[in-house]
Amino acid sequence: MANIKTNDNQTTTNRGLNFSWLWSEYSVVIAFIIIFIVAAFMNDRFLYLQNQLNILMQVSTIGIIALGMTVVMLSGGIDLSVGSVLAMAGVFSVLALNASESIFVGVLTALAVGAMAGLLNGILVSKGRIASFIATLGMMAGARSIALYVSDGGSKSAEVDGFMNISNSSLGMVDTPIIVFLGLTILIYILMQKTRFGRYVYALGSNEKAALLSAIRVDRIKIGVYTLCGFLVGIAALIETSRLNSISSSSSGNLYELDAIAAVIIGGTRMTGGKGKVIGTLFGVLLLGVLNNMMNLLNISPHLQGLVKGLIIIVAVLFQKRD
């Protein structure tokens, strides 16, 4: 009888451990499924195919930024400048587009400006030994100021036919920004899970001193991480600018860093780095998109949506502390 009791206790313990592991690894997926089901019951319009595509379209820009933020946070850093860099990259992209009358030049400018801003962030953090919070906070103020100065505090509109087609075209019923977002998700997943660079980023975020002792070029990895994030912000700027055919130096990208960080944290990436997954960020972005859509369908004031996001971030961090 004693043996039977011991086996029963061991079985119960194993089940508890299995559930704990399942929740630890897939909590954001479980939360997404629960919220999706609740949203479907609360409003019958939620499950319409067009509504689901609208959710994906609405989160595509933030989703691309969140992918870059994931890589940065996995390395143990943070990038507060993504929203301002988006506005700056969009402004310069439109100026280059209108001056050259070449869509290719406009696209290249957005990517180059984003990547250069990320490169500067990386140099400040790695070579300047400035905390990522401070370095990117400075970039946030500087990039927004440059965007405002160059555009005289207003908006810039594209004057070249065909530029809007970048974001307003589709493959069947699926809009191009959705395809770009999902395609980049796959690429960043492969980068982080299947390449040496990805392993080094995880090692850096877990223990920077150990990474240094392992002969990892920590400075190069940091520069690469922030440059990649900036490049992805450039893509997001291109998508947003072409979708609206204009960019506002004052409001475009405003608080995008909050949404991106929220998605990454909800997705299970630790703020201290070293643990997290790109797939988790994908579901974090989708979860926020479903919540926003559900609140809109229920006619909840948009002024309360920030409160909901803030509460979700706090709850997500509390659950991380319990792991």
pLDDT for 172 beyond 60: yes
Give dist(CA 14, CA 9) in Å, integer: 9
Give dist(CA 112, CA 106) in Å, integer: 10
Asked whether residue 6 is assigned to any structural domain, the reply reads no
**How is residue 67 written in tokens?**
């992918």
The pLDDT value given to residue 113:
97
pLDDT for 45 beyond 90: no
The pLDDT value given to residue 307:
82
- Tell me the residue range of the domain where 240 lies: 28-322
**How is residue 41 written in tokens?**
């019951």
Give dist(CA 179, CA 185) in Å, integer: 10
Asked whether residue 101 is assigned to any structural domain, the reply reads yes
Asked whether residue 177 is assigned to any structural domain, the reply reads yes
Burial of 94 (0-12, 13-18, 19+ CB in 10 A): buried
**How is residue 90 written in tokens?**
């969009």
pLDDT in tens, 275-312: 899 999 999 999 999 988 988 888 877 777 778 777 87
The pLDDT value given to residue 323:
56
Asked whether residue 11 is assigned to any structural domain, the reply reads no
Asked whether residue 7 is assigned to any structural domain, the reply reads no
Asked whether residue 213 is assigned to any structural domain, the reply reads yes
Q: Could you say which DSSP state residue 135 is in?
A: H
Q: Dmax over Cα atoms in the chain, in whole Å?
A: 86
H-helix or E-strand spanning residue 152: none
Q: What is the mean pLDDT of the chain?
A: 89
Beta strands in the chain (DSSP E): 155-157, 170-171, 174-175, 246-248
The pLDDT value given to residue 310:
78
pLDDT in tens, 108-148: 999 999 999 999 999 999 999 999 999 999 999 999 999 99
C-beta neighbour count of 220 within 10 angstroms: 13
The pLDDT value given to residue 248:
93
pLDDT for 192 beyond 90: yes
pTM metric for this prediction: 0.91
pLDDT for 83 beyond 80: yes
Side-chain half-sphere CA neighbours of 323 within 13 A:
18
Band (pLDDT 50/70/90 cuts) for residue 1 is: very low
- Number of domains, the chain: 1
The pLDDT value given to residue 280:
93
C-beta neighbour count of 323 within 10 angstroms: 12
Band (pLDDT 50/70/90 cuts) for residue 25 is: low
**How is residue 318 written in tokens?**
């509390």
- Contact criterion met (CB below 8 Å) for 71 and 242: no
List the CATH number of the domain containing 43.
1.10.3470
The pLDDT value given to residue 19:
55
pLDDT for 188 beyond 80: yes
Which of 270 and 187 is assigned the larger pLDDT?
187
User: 155-157 and 246-248 as β-strands: parallel, antiparallel, unpaired?
Assistant: antiparallel
Asked whether residue 215 is assigned to any structural domain, the reply reads yes
Q: What is the mean pLDDT of residues 63-86?
A: 96
The least confident of 161-165, 235-239, 274-278, 316-320 is 316-320
Asked whether residue 273 is assigned to any structural domain, the reply reads yes
Band (pLDDT 50/70/90 cuts) for residue 107 is: very high
Q: What is the mean pLDDT of residues 66-76?
A: 96
pLDDT in tens, 235-280: 999 999 999 999 999 999 998 999 999 999 989 898 888 889 999 9
The least confident of 5-9, 36-40, 237-241 is 5-9
